[in-house]
Every structure is written in structure tokens, then in C-alpha cells.
């Protein structure tokens, strides 16, 4: 289920999409590098990915430390629009 990698930090490709329930088990949504890793995943056109093998995985905040605010919604134009 996991792809090859040559470095210690960053996402690892998965061969199937995660279910909503699996996301918390595989992704560190509160990581300062999460946006950068998403960009890598999109550029490489991976089906899905996991953060579990990253050396920053252990820095995940506990449930009581997580922010209790809604996520920021970004406007992304459709393909071909500016």
C-alpha cells in the first residue's frame, strides 16, 4: 500500500483513497508542512498519501490541544479561469 521514498520527511504515496474515517490515522492536518506536502502530492498526481512515516508525525497535537475553529476555505478558480 505504500510507495517508495528516498528521504526521511514528507508524504508517502498510497495506492488507494482513504475513507473519511482513516484520514486522522494517516494525516497530520495540524503540521506546519501539511500545505507543502499537499502540493507535492498534487504535482505527483498520487491517489492518496500518508504522513505516518514522516519524522514529524510524533508532533501531532492531542485532541484537547487542537484548535476549535472552522477550517479556512480557500477560493480556487476552475481550470482555465483566472
Structure confidence by residue, pLDDT tens digits, 39-53: 999 999 999 999 999
Write the DSSP assignment of 20-79 as a string of letters: HHHHHHH--TT-TTHHHHHHHHHHHT-SEEE-TTSTTGGGPPPGGGS--SPPPPPP-PPT
Contact between 56 and 31 under an 8 Å Cβ cutoff? The reply is yes
Percent above pLDDT 90 for the chain: 43
Task: Check residue 1 and give its pLDDT.
Answer: 46
Smallest CA-to-CA distance from 46 within 79, 5, 80 is with 5
Q: Which residues of the chain have pLDDT under 70?
A: 1-8, 61-82
Amino acid at each position: 500500500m505504500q510507495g517508495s521514498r528516498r528521504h526521511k520527511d514528507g508524504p508517502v504515496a498510497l495506492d488507494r483513497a482513504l475513507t473519511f474515517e482513516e484520514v486522522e490515522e494517516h494525516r497530520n492536518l495540524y503540521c506546519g508542512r501539511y500545505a507543502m506536502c499537499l502540493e507535492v502530492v498534487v504535482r505527483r498526481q498520487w491517489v492518496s498519501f500518508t504522513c505516518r512515516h514522516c519524522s514529524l508525525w510524533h508532533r501531532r497535537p492531542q485532541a484537547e490541544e487542537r484548535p476549535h475553529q472552522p477550517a479556512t476555505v480557500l477560493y480556487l478558480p476552475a481550470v482555465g479561469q483566472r
